[in-house]
Amino acid sequence: MRVLVWRLLSGDRPGHRLVSALLLAVLLGLAVLPFALPGTKAMAAAARICIFIVLAGSYDMVLGYTGIVSLAHAVFFAIGAYAVAIPLAHGWVGWDAVAVGMAGGAVLAAVVAAGITLLSLRVQAIFFSMITLAAASLAQVLATQWRGVTGGEDGLSFSVPRALSPSFRLLRDPLFGVRVDGRLLTYYLIFVAALLLFLLMLRIVNSPFGRVLLAIRENAFRAEALGYRTIVYRTLASAIAAGIAALAGGLMALLLRYTGPDATLSFSVMVDILLMVVIGGMGTLYGPALGAVVIVLAEYYLQPALQAVSAALAGWPVLPLILDPDRWLLWLGLLFVLIVYFLPAGIVGSLRRRRG
């Protein structure tokens, strides 16, 4: 059993018992959540966690393993979502449309990422970030103005294959008290795909290719002197990460049965990705997974939790105002500041350092 787990993780240990326990709890919790908490909100939050684990992990391949600070990663997420949504919204409904959209989105995102990287890496770091920010702004303009294809600001609503529609029933009788319908099948499709993509990313970063990326991150000049063409490796890493981000975008489109600029291309999506990587720990892959759990749970449940606490403290003079649910973003920001201050290398990175 240990050998199997070791191979699945590509020899990459979480590095701390607490990290291992947290990751195991997340995996088991996501696996059984539809049967433990069959509510719509809980399942939607869990599905978003799965998707953002892949998305944040793909960004960590760029930021944490190569040192590239890109602000255009949400663009590749949106490319994957639109690539799945466009054929489905124009009447081509079926698994073949989903497969073509997923593959086409991943290839297009990889090509776009390679072009941006080749264009931008010849300038210094801050200018590279500005170029990627300009590319993200251009993509948002195209998504809102190209109405005939993208639906403009309204986005695209579409039908999914029948097996993923909420009205579909795989089994007539409930299984452990839960209906086996299209909503449940959609969740487990996302869960399995996210798990496989995460294991794929672990395999990539723990391969000789991944070790070269780490060497380039630590000292690009030394890696170049050893014979590694840094721009080639960084371009390949950006293209692979963009393709994986596009696959995550396709999964998001299937989950929402809708895609639009606000859902996949807004700057808030990019901020969420960056927060997940920084909170969890850059250059670990495990860190962004835990960061995705923290951010998504905070976005879904921090406001209701503050509302419950504020109502319980209604008789107190000041606390209900401080804990008002409308201030949940303030508390989320405070949580981020505290994590960065006390865990400067992120959750996983700081725990690994303490053990070391």
Q: Contact at 8 Å (CB) between 238 and 117? A: yes
Strand partners, 178: 175
239-274 pLDDT, tens per residue? 999 999 999 999 999 999 999 998 888 888 998 999
Q: Contact at 8 Å (CB) between 235 and 209? A: no
pLDDT band at 169 (very low <50, low <70, confident <90, very high): confident
Which CATH number is correct for 32-284, 1.20.950, 2.60.40, 1.10.150, 1.10.3470? 1.10.3470
Both structure tokens of 138:
């251009």
99 vs 336, more confident: 99
Short-list 79, 93, 23, CA closest to 284: 23
pLDDT value at residue 239: 95
Task: Indicate the residue type of 304.
Answer: P
Q: Is the pTM of this model over 0.85?
A: yes
pLDDT value at residue 33: 92
Q: Contact at 8 Å (CB) between 73 and 273? A: yes
Short-list 274, 283, 275, CA closest to 349: 283
pLDDT band at 82 (very low <50, low <70, confident <90, very high): very high
Residue found under tokens 């998305």:
55
Task: Indicate the residue type of 295.
Answer: I
List the chain domain ranges: 32-284
pLDDT band at 185 (very low <50, low <70, confident <90, very high): very high
pLDDT band at 15 (very low <50, low <70, confident <90, very high): confident
- Residue 339, CB half-sphere, CA atoms under 13 Å: how many? 24
